[in-house]
């Protein structure tokens, strides 16, 4: 083990990322976002969806690979077939670290879900 301290450091960083993803999922679990646009408390779903989309946009803007927690929430919540296809395209771009290509996919998904995208404009 002491021969490869860089591997321990990489493992530690990956483990920290998993912990952050779990914390984000726990935070979002109580938010009321379960199924986008279908039943439930529409206002809390919309607010939660907006928070997730904002966070995902922020991470894509800085080329942050720690997007899995946001994607997991969207996978769980998005029900419409067209939105699921857009989400799959977004995930494929992110898997390839194509952050430039992910931005239009994220905006298309937001538009389809009726999420205001003012957060996407640079101030």
Q: List pLDDT tens digits, range 44-59.
A: 666 778 888 889 988 8
Q: How confident is the model at residue 22 (pLDDT cuts 50, 70, 90)?
A: low
pTM of the model: 0.61
The continuous run of DSSP H or E covering 104 comes out as: helix 99-113
Asked if residue 123 belongs to a domain, the reply is no
Exposure pattern of 84-113 as b/e (b: 16+ CB <10 Å)? eebbebbbebbeeeebeebbebbbbbbebb
The tens digit of pLDDT for each residue in 65-96 reads 888 888 988 888 888 889 999 999 999 999 99
Mean pLDDT, residues 12-20: 68
Asked if residue 31 belongs to a domain, the reply is yes
Mean pLDDT, residues 30-49: 50
Count the domains in the chain: 1
């Amino acid at each position: 083990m002491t021969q490869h301290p860089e591997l321990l450091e990489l493992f530690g960083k990956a483990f920290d990322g998993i912990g952050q993803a779990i914390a984000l999922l726990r935070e979002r679990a109580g938010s009321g976002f379960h199924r986008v646009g279908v039943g439930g408390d529409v206002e809390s779903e919309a607010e939660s969806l907006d928070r997730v989309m904002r966070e995902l946009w922020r991470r894509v803007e800085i080329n942050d690979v720690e997007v899995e927690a946001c994607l997991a929430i969207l996978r769980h919540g998005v029900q419409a077939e067209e939105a699921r296809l857009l989400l799959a395209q977004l995930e494929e771009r992110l898997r390839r670290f194509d952050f430039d290509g992910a931005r239009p996919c994220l905006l298309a998904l937001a538009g389809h879900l009726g999420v205001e995208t003012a957060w996407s404009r640079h101030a």
